[in-house]
Amino acid sequence: MVRYVYDFAEGDKDQKDLLGGKGANLAEMIRLGLNVPPGFTVTTEACRAYLASGAVPTEMAEQVTEQLRILEGKIGRTLGDPEEPLLVSVRSGAKFSMPGMMETVLNIGTNDASVHGLAVFSGDERFAWDSYRRLIQMFGKTVLGIEGHFFEHAIDEAKTSAGVTTDIELGVDDLKALVDTYKGIVREHAGIEFPQDTREQLDMAIKAVFDSWNTDRAVLYRRQERIPADLGTAVNVQAMVFGNVGDDSGTGVAFTRDPATGATGHYGDYLPDAQGEDVVAGIRNTLTLDDMGRLDPEAHAELLANMDLLEKHYKDLCDIEFTVENGRLYMLQTRVGKRTAGAAFRIATQLVDEGIIDTDEAVRRVSGAQLVQLMFPHFDHSGDRTLVAKGIAASPGAAVGVAVFDSETAVEKAEQGIKTILVRRETTPDDLAGMVAAAGILTSRGGKTSHAAVVARGMGKTAVCGTEDLAVDTTAKQATAPGGIVIREGDPLSIDGATGEVFVGEVPVIPSPVVQYFEGELSPDGDDDLVRSVHRIITHADDVRRLRVRTNADTPEDSARARRMGADFEEILEAMDGLPVTIRLLDPPLHEFLPDLTSLSVAVARAEERGDVKADDLRLLAAVERLHESNPMLGLRGVRLGLAIPGLFGLQVRAIAQAAAARKAAGGDPRAEIMIPLVGAVQELELIKDEAEQVIAEVAAETGSELAFQIGTMIELPRAAMTADQIAEAAEFFSFGTNDLTQTTWGFSRDDVEGAFFTTYLEKGVFGVSPFESIDRDGVGALVRVATEKGRATRPDIKLGVCGEHGGDPESVHFFDEVGLDYVSCSPFRVPVARLEAGRATLFKAGGGSDSR
């Protein structure tokens, strides 16, 4: 016989698959000897059987009966008994908590008869009728699917006719009348009488939890998160205890450390004479745990002891729910608690110092995403601020500067040392110089995957996008906010990339101490305990990680730096003496070298209309028309340009070779590697390699220098991945260009599908996160895996790396480690994230644990 129902006392915390998270943790607390109201868990297996057949398995119904009998025995009361009724709660508990699933029905077991017994037993008639009222309301909404506003409207009317303003002022008679009204609502909207059979109440609630596994929101969430659709949820049935039966009762939540700051100590909120939902509702002011100690020292002492026990047991910050019923403490729930990014780092190192976990585990306990949060400055919330608009929080940070409406002005101001916010309807690659120069970017169009958002995140620059309330007029150089507030060039603005808020004026900014540490401005041994924690964790990640981390100079910011240096390969090789420098040959699409066809056509047409068109302009237009590409991303780029224009790549290789020769002559150790972009076939690489080797030999002969360069290729086309075995015959290294590889593997370009389309895809759960942000493991990742295997099959010592956005994305770093690449390369701002996540990847693999972030 299949076991579908387990007593809480039978499980433990490692049985989340079968009992769900909540059930497993309740079982664990019982195992630890804590006082938990008894109950039982209906397993995920029962849910799966129900969903597959559409009916509750017979064994399950029998086992619920048996467990209910045991529970009634333990409590000494019976479900639905008119004298001494047992009341139970029914709660869902899947392996992963999931928005959209049914949460809780309390007070199951109350009916027209037992409500009287409850009144007698509790000595509180009002409590009994209020409990009944609450049951019908919760049951009606969550089990019967009646819209909540019918009940809320009824209770509002009851208050009006009673002449009171709050629920607790309603008297017994008011509540009795309300119960009748509620029954009417059930009759009208569900077409049934509210069930008086208390076992039927229980069975219906359990089935409702099962059914809620397949609500639209839950299905969507699973689709986004790729959670298997067939896991199912468990259901926990637990004897009710009441915190609202007098002054020696109450309910609360507690944390074993401060989840906001990570500070040690016991934190929590307590509400005497209340039920859990009252704490959440926030009607009454809560007390601290210290206040609770004064009110009820015994329960308080037991709670603190339980908290210490649970934290030591779970070896982490615990988040606890409890109730005190007539002075007796009951533990209702525990789980490892959520915390802020700063708290995560502080707690991890505290636990090491307390001997509870080792440093490996501390590294596992924090994430790159948390580290990123710590690397942004933030606004001082205490300052005066005038919010004028709100957009999408596209790239975190707090930026302050004067408004500018074009790139040129942003660059000019930057040269004068003036900080700017670049305000555009949207950005294009033409705006890159301005984006580099500006302190922050504000757009009225585009979402998290827009050009502005993606480039800003890559640079670690603050951006607020899609601020649709803002009417941006770049010609007039002004933007109009709601209420007619006009922002003109030169007006000070402050934008918060973490909240999407836009303020006029200068809001004071607090810089990130973590960035100051990474830039060497703050000592790792100084006063800032957050910096000390980050330092300890990142250096340990460095010690354990297998993946090497490189930085690339292909973000606009670094390119600008290289340009300021005169883009002289020699200086780069000097700066990087003794270190490998991979130089990618010319890559941008042809159209980036050409004037825009539409603008030029319009200019020529206008000139023609005015009768002053120039022959040169007509010739230029003809040339641009001839070279125009319908799909520049799929046009004459990279190696194709190198093959179509003989000598183009040779020129670059010559410059690199000459720079290396000069460095050698000066006693340096240049280690340049030459990388060919957009290769799809080994033949392309062979042809360019032949040309490069000839040029290198020429320069070697001219300079008398011995020159040798590794020559490798980008793998950024599906064909390159599928034929990596052939390509590895000519390539000494591969660098995966996962941005382009994502474009071609999915067949969409970032430029063209952002905005409405990506938003639709994220909403509909086609993907949980943009594949440009985090590598698409199943598709793009599968090609990376194929190329890795094929490349190594041909050339076992081939060097494999990745460059581009994904190299600094936490999820992606884990994937690249798993696939066995040698290094990731990312923008400088993302290097700490890559270091941390590379370390974590090693530890999760070694520890056999899975990354639970």
Catalog residues that contact its own copies under the rule CB under 8 A: 223, 597-598, 601-602, 605-606, 608-610, 629-636, 640, 643-644, 678, 680-681, 683-684, 686-687, 716-719, 722-723, 726, 740, 743-749, 751-753, 756-757, 760-761, 764-767, 776, 778-780, 782-783
CA separation for the pair 416, 408 (Å, rounded)? 13
Q: How far is the CB of 635 from its own copies (least distance, A)?
A: 4
Main-chain phi, psi angles of 205, to 5 degrees: -65, -40
Q: Which residue has the tokens 């950024």?
A: 716
Q: What does each C-alpha distance from 269 to 165, 266, 294 come to in angstroms? A: 25, 10, 14
Q: Which amino acid is at 847?
A: G
End-to-end CA distance of the chain: 37
CB-wise, 66 or 789, nearer to its own copies?
789
CB-wise, 310 or 675, nearer to its own copies?
675
Q: How far is the CB of 217 from its own copies (least distance, A)?
A: 15
CB-wise, 368 or 446, nearer to its own copies?
446
For residues 440 and 502, the answer to whether their CB atoms sit within 8 Å is: no
Among positive and negative, which fits the CA dihedral 104, 109, 115, 120? negative
Q: Which of 803, 806, 814, 826 is catalytic?
A: 803
The residues facing 319 across adjacent strands are: 255, 335
Any idea what DSSP says for residue 281? Answer: H
Q: What does each C-alpha distance from 274 to 105, 278, 279, 583 come to in angstroms? A: 17, 6, 8, 67
| Contacting residues for 691 by C-beta, under 8 A, at least 6 apart | 646, 649, 650, 653
Q: How far is the CB of 224 from its own copies (least distance, A)?
A: 9
CB-wise, 247 or 789, nearer to its own copies?
789
Q: How far is the CB of 353 from its own copies (least distance, A)?
A: 46
CB-wise, 96 or 757, nearer to its own copies?
757
Any idea what DSSP says for residue 526? Answer: S
CB-wise, 564 or 626, nearer to its own copies?
626
Q: Which of 47, 300, 318, 451 is catalytic?
A: 451
CB-wise, 152 or 608, nearer to its own copies?
608
Residue 666 CA to its chain's centroid (Å): 49
Q: How far is the CB of 754 from its own copies (least distance, A)?
A: 11
Q: How far is the CB of 690 from its own copies (least distance, A)?
A: 10
Closest CA to 89 of 198, 274, 279, 237: 237
Is 803 known to be catalytic?
A: yes
Main-chain phi, psi angles of 743, to 5 degrees: -60, -45
Q: How far is the CB of 201 from its own copies (least distance, A)?
A: 34
| Contacting residues for 476 by C-beta, under 8 A, at least 6 apart | none
Q: How far is the CB of 692 from its own copies (least distance, A)?
A: 15
Is 451 known to be catalytic?
A: yes
Q: What does each C-alpha distance from 716 to 78, 360, 799 come to in angstroms? A: 68, 35, 16
Listing DSSP states for 368-389 in one string gives HHHHHHHTS-EE-TTS--EEEE
Any idea what DSSP says for residue 269? Answer: E
CB-wise, 765 or 828, nearer to its own copies?
765
Active site residues: 451, 803
